Each structure stands twice: as C-alpha cells, then as structure tokens.
C-alpha cells in the first residue's frame, strides 16, 4: 500500500470510527452511583458538602442557611492510552488487527470512570470524606435537635466481602466523578513527526483529565457483614432514618444494591425473589435494584 496523505487520512478516519464504535458498545455503570461534575481548574473544593439546606416555615425574616466550610478537595489527574501502528503494516496492508484494537480503546475510554468510581467505594472504609471521617464510618459528627454533636454510622463493619446500599435519586449521588478534560482522540501521523521518522511508527491515542471523590455519606451504607435479609434491613432502616443537623429527617430512600459478582446471587435473593424460606412472602422484594459491578472484584 502506498503511503500518502490520502492513505493516512483514510486510516485516521477508520481508526477513529472503530474507536467511536467501541465507545458506543461499552456498558459503563458509573453514572448509576456517581454524579458527573465539570471542573474548570486543577482542582475543585467542595466546601458546601457539610450542609444540606432544608425548607423551614417562614416566620419573621428569612433565615440565611450559610454553607458549612470544609477542606474537601478533588484534584484532577491526567490519563492516556496510546496505540502505535508500524509503517510496515501499512505498507504490507496488514491492518486487520488494528480495527479491534481501536474498538477496545473506545471501550476502555468509556469504562475509565468505572475503574475510578467503584474502587473508590471499596476504599471508602479507609478513605476520608468531607467531614474528616472515613466515608463508611461509625462516628460521623452530626448536630442533634439541641445542637450537640452526636455520632452517626453508615456502616456496620464486618470482615467479609463489601456490599453497598445507596440512595441515587437525589441531586448528588454518593460518589462524584469530576471531569476537567473529556477524552479526545488525537494522532501523530505526519511523516515529519519524530515517531514516524525515528521509529517508523504512526501514533494514535486518547487523553483526558478527571478524578473521583465522595459526596454525602448519608446516602450510602457500606457493609462487610454477610449479605442477608437481616443485614439488608439494617442498612435500609439506617439510610431511611438519617437526619441532618438539628434533627431534621433527610427523607432518603435507598434504591440501589451494589455488589461484586461473588454476591450477585445473594443480592438477587434478597430483593428480587418473591418467595423465600420455602414459600414465605419476601418483604424486601422490589425494594432496590441490583447492580453487579465487575470493578468491585
């Protein structure tokens, strides 16, 4: 195959099309548990996470609900994926393998947020959130009705395989996916480029900037206890009983049970089976959707 500007342009278009096909075919799950926030700088400070504003009866003047300031910052990171195409493969018209490679590049790009979001959930038992406690902890500080500080839990501990019950119907989900620069397909395929001149290699890749962090811990329950009906009930009751400062109920209803593949059967038995124990009605059937994530393995 003769290599000229027309050939290179055709290859670039073909590789990008394969890349976009891979993007479209990917089954990314991160948007179920994470809110996407667009970033405009090197990092973003989420000081407002410490206060959930609540409606009050208007008596007298308005009461300005100032947002509590916290030093919770998510710093963006840079990511890239690059594929090199040997000039000899173009000369010899040996390009069949590259189509699937660029499709896989698209799939990897679409799944990239998943590789950040779900491992962060797993790490939540030992990773700090906005209030200075681990995201899943037993002593998150909250003000009671009298203004005193009390400890509130969003985990019941354990030593087994982690599973998570989440409230995902609010404006902010339990995890934040912060995107500074969306992934973009780029190429270095000019004959004058150093990679072509020095290594006879045409280079194509994607790059972007993003990172993840935690939102409101009140909207998530993390457990390493056995996933059974009793522990599921504990988690569900805890989230629905969550209160904000000064004893105001948050009105949260969990809707998503997130598990690794090893707990898929247990999760479906709890919230999908209509009958249990040889014929008894399952009181928890339909109370949550099951999300099985391979990124939790």
What confidence tens digit (pLDDT) does each residue in 62-100 have? 544 444 445 689 999 999 999 999 988 888 777 888 999
CA-CA distances (angstroms) from residue 28 to 14, 79, 87, 94?
24, 18, 34, 32
Residue 215: per-residue pLDDT: 94
Where does the pLDDT of residue 49 fall: very low under 50, low under 70, confident under 90, or very high at 90 and above?
confident
Query: What pTM, to 2 d.p., does this model score?
Result: 0.88
Residue 270: per-residue pLDDT: 97
Specify the length of the chain in residues.
297
Stretch among 22-26, 91-95, 193-197, 293-297 having the lowest mean pLDDT: 91-95
Mean predicted confidence (pLDDT) in 92-118: 92
If one compares 107 and 50, the residue with the highest pLDDT of the two is 107
| Cα 194 from Cα 3, distance rounded (Å) | 17
| Cα 154 from Cα 222, distance rounded (Å) | 7
Mean predicted confidence (pLDDT) in 168-188: 95
Residue 68: per-residue pLDDT: 45
If one compares 207 and 48, the residue with the highest pLDDT of the two is 207
Residue 264: per-residue pLDDT: 98
| Nearest to 65, CA basis, from 56, 74, 73 | 56
Stretch among 101-105, 142-146, 288-292 having the lowest mean pLDDT: 142-146
Mean predicted confidence (pLDDT) in 222-251: 95
């Amino acid at each position: 195959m003769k290599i000229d500007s027309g050939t290179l342009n055709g290859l670039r278009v073909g590789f990008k099309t394969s890349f976009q096909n891979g993007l479209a075919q990917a089954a990314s799950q991160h948007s179920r548990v994470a809110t996407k926030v667009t970033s405009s700088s090197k990092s973003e400070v989420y000081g407002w996470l410490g206060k959930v504003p609540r409606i009050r009866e208007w008596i007298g003047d308005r009461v300005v609900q100032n947002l509590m300031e916290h030093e919770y910052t998510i710093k963006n990171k840079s990511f890239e994926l690059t594929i090199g195409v040997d000039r000899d493969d173009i000369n010899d018209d040996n390009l069949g393998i590259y189509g699937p490679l660029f499709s896989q590049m698209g799939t990897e790009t679409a799944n990239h947020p998943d590789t950040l979001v779900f491992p962060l959930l797993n790490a939540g038992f030992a990773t700090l959130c906005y209030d200075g406690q681990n995201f899943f902890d037993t002593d998150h500080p909250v003000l009671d009705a009298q203004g005193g500080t009390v400890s509130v839990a969003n985990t019941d501990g354990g030593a087994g395989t982690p599973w998570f019950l989440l409230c995902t119907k609010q404006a902010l989900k339990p995890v934040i996916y912060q995107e500074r620069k969306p992934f973009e397909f780029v190429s270095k395929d000019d004959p004058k480029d150093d990679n072509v001149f020095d290594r006879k290699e045409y280079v194509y890749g994607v790059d972007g900037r993003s990172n993840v962090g935690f939102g409101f811990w009140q909207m998530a329950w993390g457990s390493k206890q056995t996933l059974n009906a009793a522990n599921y009930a504990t988690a569900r009751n805890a989230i629905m009983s969550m209160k904000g400062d000064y004893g105001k109920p948050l009105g949260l209803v969990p809707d998503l049970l997130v598990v690794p593949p090893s707990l898929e059967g247990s999760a479906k038995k709890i919230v999908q089976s209509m009958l249990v124990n040889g014929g008894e009605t399952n009181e928890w059937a339909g109370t949550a959707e099951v999300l099985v994530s391979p990124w939790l393995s």
